[in-house]
Every structure is written in C-alpha cells, then in structure tokens.
Chain A
Amino acid sequence: MPDLIRSHAEPVSDPRASRRSFLKLAGLGGAVLVAAGCDSDSGNPNPDAINLDFSNDFGVLNYAYALEQLEAAFYATVVTSSSFSTTFNTDEQAVLRSIRKHEEIHREFLKAALGTNAIPGLTPNFDAVDFGNKSSVLGTAQVFEDLGVAAYNGAGKYISTSQAGRGYLTIAGKIVSVEGRHAAVIAGLITPNTIAASGIINSSGLDRALEPDVVLGMAGDFIVEDIRAINVPSLT
C-alpha cells in the first residue's frame, strides 16, 4: 500500500500527459490548452483529455477519485513542508495531519473500488499556493473542502438507481459529510465561529451543489492534466 500511495506523488507515465506537462512547463502548451478549454461541446470526448464519462457510475466515482487525489496531494504537501511546524500552531497541525490521512484514505478506497476502471494518477500543480503562509494554505484548503462538498452534492443525482448505484450513493454520502466536517473546521480556523466561507451556505440553509463542469473548471487550475466530464445527463 505505501507503494500505491507514493505512486500518486509522481507524474503519470502516460506519454501524452508527459508531453502535455512538458509543453506546459516550457510555456508552449498555452494555445493547445486554451483551445481545449474553449471547446464548449462537453459531450465530445477529447482524446488528449482524461474524460470522466458520466453516463455510467464509474465516471461519477472517478470524478470523486480525481478530487480526492487533488485534496490528498495538497495536504501531503502541506504537512511535509519544511515550514509546517513554524507556520501552524499545535491545533492547526493536528487538524491538517488528520485531514491528510482522511483524504488519502478516501483516495485509496476509491482507487481500490474502481480497480481497472480507475483514471490515472493526476499531477497536481500548487504553484499558486505559498506553503509557508498560513492564510494561503488555509484559504486553499477552504476552497478545496467547500468545492469537494459542492461536487459530491451536485453529483449524487447522476449516480444510477440500480442496486449498485444505491450503494455508491450511500458511500459518497459517507465521504461527503466528512468533507463537510473538514470544511467547517477549516472555516473555524480561519474565522472563529464560522462554518463556511461567506456566501457558501444560502439563505435556505443549503450548501452548494455544483455541476461537474463548474467544479472541474475550478479544480482544473490545480491539475496539470486536462480533465473533463463527458456525457453528463441533463436532469431537470
């Protein structure tokens, strides 16, 4: 299992992804990535992208797996940063260490559950985060947790009503409430007595439920690979 976990920290070996990473790093990939981003027909698979096929439950579960990969990689970077113990107080350190474990467990569980249907390991890009700065780290954690909650809340309706699907929905529910707990604890570290960033919970007392294209648009800023949801059913 440690090998399994370590593999996520390394770039994927898919040659297309490696080439894309290289292009992006070299500053040459902009046009290609922008072109992909402008493709408004989300129903068309992009052969160069990691496509999450929402027409079946594996696509939805892989969506969760992608987000858990991102969260796990983020917290692992946070707690292994050389300035971790000087940037955060004892309580904050304990919280961040625990959340790291939870997110890794979510990632490893989903990977195991998906088996050969799992998407590759993603390559995170946290260049925008200052890991020696408390506000930067906690602010990013809050974005990820609130986004994770909204993603699960918005994706529940896409899980099938088959016997297996009902099981997946319950498992997603077991995970999303823990993400909600994380979100509240992080919010409380940033601003005492709060449970979410301002505007996240609406006047009806509801958390957000976001569509996969919105979530991936935001999460995509932290992921090197082009990852998109395809065949998302239109539900009223």
Chain B
Amino acid sequence: MTMNTDLFKDLDTALNNAATSRRDALRKAGRLGGAAALSVLPLYGMAKKAMASNYGFNPEDDFDILNYALTLEFLESYFYQMGVDSGVIASADRPLFETINRDEAAHVQLLSGAITQAGGTPVSYQPSDFDFTAGGMFPAFTDYQTFLILSQGFEDTGVRAYKGQAANIESKTYLTVALQIHSVEARHAAAVRRVRGSNGWITNDNGPDPIAAVYGPGNPAAQFPSEANETQGGVDLGVALSSYTMAEITEAFDEPLDMQTVIGIAAPFADFLP
C-alpha cells in the first residue's frame, strides 16, 4: 500500500488531541470527587465497587467483564456495519468485511443474551453513541486506508482485551466462550493486517502511528507489557532462545491489556466513554 505520511500525521494529532481532552474530562471528574465521577457511569451498573478508571467495570465480577466485552463488541459491530454500508471498502475485500461484520454482530447478540440469561443487565448502545471519525478528524468511512487502520486497531485491541480478562473470569462457561471469541478476533486481526500488506502477526510493537498505543504497554506495565515483550513466564526468551530473533519471539506471543488502557484506546470513538 502507499503510505500517506501526511494523513498519518493528521490522524496521530487527532488521536492525541482526543486523548488529551478525554484525560482532561477524566481529571475534572476526578476533582469533583467520587460521587460526581460515578454520575458519568451508565445506568446498567449500580456499579458494584465501581472504579472510574475502568469506566465502572470491575474485573472481579463476571457480569462486568462480559459487559466490558460487550461494549467493545458494540463498537466493532457498528464500525463494520457503517463501513459495509458506506461503500468505503474495496470490492475485492468486501466478502472479508461482510464476514467480520457478521461475526461482530453475532458476538453482540451472544454476549447480550448470555448476560440476560444469567440474570444480569447487558449494556446497550446505538450507532449514534459512537463517532468513528473521532470528532471529524478521521475519514473513517471515506478513506479506505483509514478504515483499514482503524479496523486493525480495533481487532488487535480486542485480542488484547479478551486476553487481559481471561484469568479474571470465574465461570468456566464464560471463560470458554470468551476464548472462542478471542481467537476469532485474532483471525479478524490477521486478515485485516494482510489486507493492509502487513504480516498477520505483530512484530515487536510495530504499528502505524495513529494506532501505536494499541501495541504499547498497559497498566501496570510489568503485568501488561507492550507487544515487544520477550520475557514469558519469567524466562527471557531473547536469552534462552538465542537462535531466534527478537522479531520472531515477539511475533510468537500476543500480550494482554488491562481494562483501563483498552478503554483509553476506545474512548475517542465512543461518546459515552470518559
């Protein structure tokens, strides 16, 4: 593909600005104290042990983890629905994105149904709750390369998000379902990356500027290192497997990401996120 560096610079600036304004909003909410901060939470919650930094999602509560996942699935689902409807997608790639669109819509249905069935209250959003142009700065549905970069960013973030919660899920049933979604998101990510002319896997923490944070460290970084991490299970594989390159070692493992960092990545595209 042709690299339009000016576009990338614009996108980068837009993301930084959006992130800055979100941070400002969060800081303001924080200054107003706990009660005020909680008032920005969605109504689904009555949020148990709510933590504003996680947008009220408690990683020790399966319902919260499922609703966190459902929020991300809504974002993806509407992104692809709008993308397919907009005509931005190259006709040669359309069947792929129709498949991805169908999968993401199915994930929304599945998670929503699972939460309801278990007696919980699923979050619910409308297309108008999302702004994939991040305030008009991303030509998400008029420029195909922008659409592809965002798609890759959402998919690779989704993979990291599910992975980051796997060990927190108490229910074995939900764990299995989460894993079954997780690997489908990885398939999506790989296919979209190939459309962009990249490898299907993540080399070091490489990613185009507008979505660089997708491949960066989470919080705490020791638990959620960047995709350039080469220490696994306490073993520095750069040393232990010295016949392999760092690129190969980092490609072989995807890294998890925490709720707070994932929400920060999604926030510029969702009006309701802090």
A contact residues vs B (CB 8 Å cutoff): 1-2, 5, 95, 98, 101-102, 104-106, 108-109, 112-113, 149, 152-154, 156-157, 161, 166-167, 169-171, 173-185, 187-188, 193-196, 201, 203-209, 235-236
Indicate if the CB atoms of B184 and A207 lie closer than 8 Å: yes
Indicate if the CB atoms of A166 and B167 lie closer than 8 Å: yes
Indicate if the CB atoms of A185 and B190 lie closer than 8 Å: yes
User: Given A98-B201, A185-B194, A209-B179, does the pair A167, B244 have CB atoms closer than 8 Å?
Assistant: no
A-B contacts counted at CB < 8 A amount to 181
Q: Give Cα distance in the complex from A98 to B244, angstroms.
A: 11
Which residues of chain A are within 8 angstroms of B93 by Cβ–Cβ distance? Answer: 193
- The minimal Cβ–Cβ distance linking A165 to chain B, given in whole angstroms, is 8
Comparing B9-17, B31-39, B41-49, B101-109, the segment that makes contact with chain A is: B101-109
B249 in the interface (beta carbon within 8 A): yes
- The minimal Cβ–Cβ distance linking A118 to chain B, given in whole angstroms, is 14
B254 in the interface (beta carbon within 8 A): yes
Indicate if the CB atoms of A184 and B188 lie closer than 8 Å: yes
Indicate if the CB atoms of A205 and B184 lie closer than 8 Å: yes
Q: Give Cα distance in the complex from A1 to B177, angstroms.
A: 37
Indicate if the CB atoms of A170 and B166 lie closer than 8 Å: yes
User: Given A105-B252, A183-B187, does the pair A177, B244 have CB atoms closer than 8 Å?
Assistant: no
Given contacts A173-B179, A185-B190, A208-B180, 15 further A-B pairs with CB under 8 A are A1-B240, A102-B248, A109-B237, A167-B233, A177-B182, A178-B253, A180-B183, A180-B187, A181-B189, A184-B187, A184-B190, A184-B200, A194-B96, A204-B106, A205-B105
Which residues of chain B are within 8 angstroms of A180 by Cβ–Cβ distance? Answer: 182-187, 190
Indicate if the CB atoms of B248 and A98 lie closer than 8 Å: yes
Output the nearest chain A residue to B94 by Cβ-Cβ distance: A193
- The minimal Cβ–Cβ distance linking A105 to chain B, given in whole angstroms, is 4
B contact residues vs A (CB 8 Å cutoff): 93, 95-96, 99-100, 102-107, 109-110, 159, 162-163, 166-167, 170, 172-173, 175-177, 179-191, 194, 199-201, 232-233, 235, 237, 240-244, 248-249, 251-256
Contact of B179 among A104, A176, A188 (CB under 8 A): A176
Output the nearest chain B residue to A2 by Cβ-Cβ distance: B243
- The minimal Cβ–Cβ distance linking B189 to chain A, given in whole angstroms, is 7
Contact of B102 among A178, A187, A205 (CB under 8 A): A205
Contact of B201 among A5, A104, A181 (CB under 8 A): A181
User: Given A101-B248, A102-B252, does the pair A173, B166 have CB atoms closer than 8 Å?
Assistant: yes
User: Given A105-B241, A177-B182, A209-B180, does the pair A98, B102 have CB atoms closer than 8 Å?
Assistant: no
Indicate if the CB atoms of A204 and B109 lie closer than 8 Å: yes
Indicate if the CB atoms of B243 and A5 lie closer than 8 Å: yes
The interface centre, meaning the residue of B159, B177, B200 with most chain A CB atoms within 10 A of its CB, is B200
User: Given A193-B96, A205-B103, A207-B183, does the pair A1, B256 have CB atoms closer than 8 Å?
Assistant: no
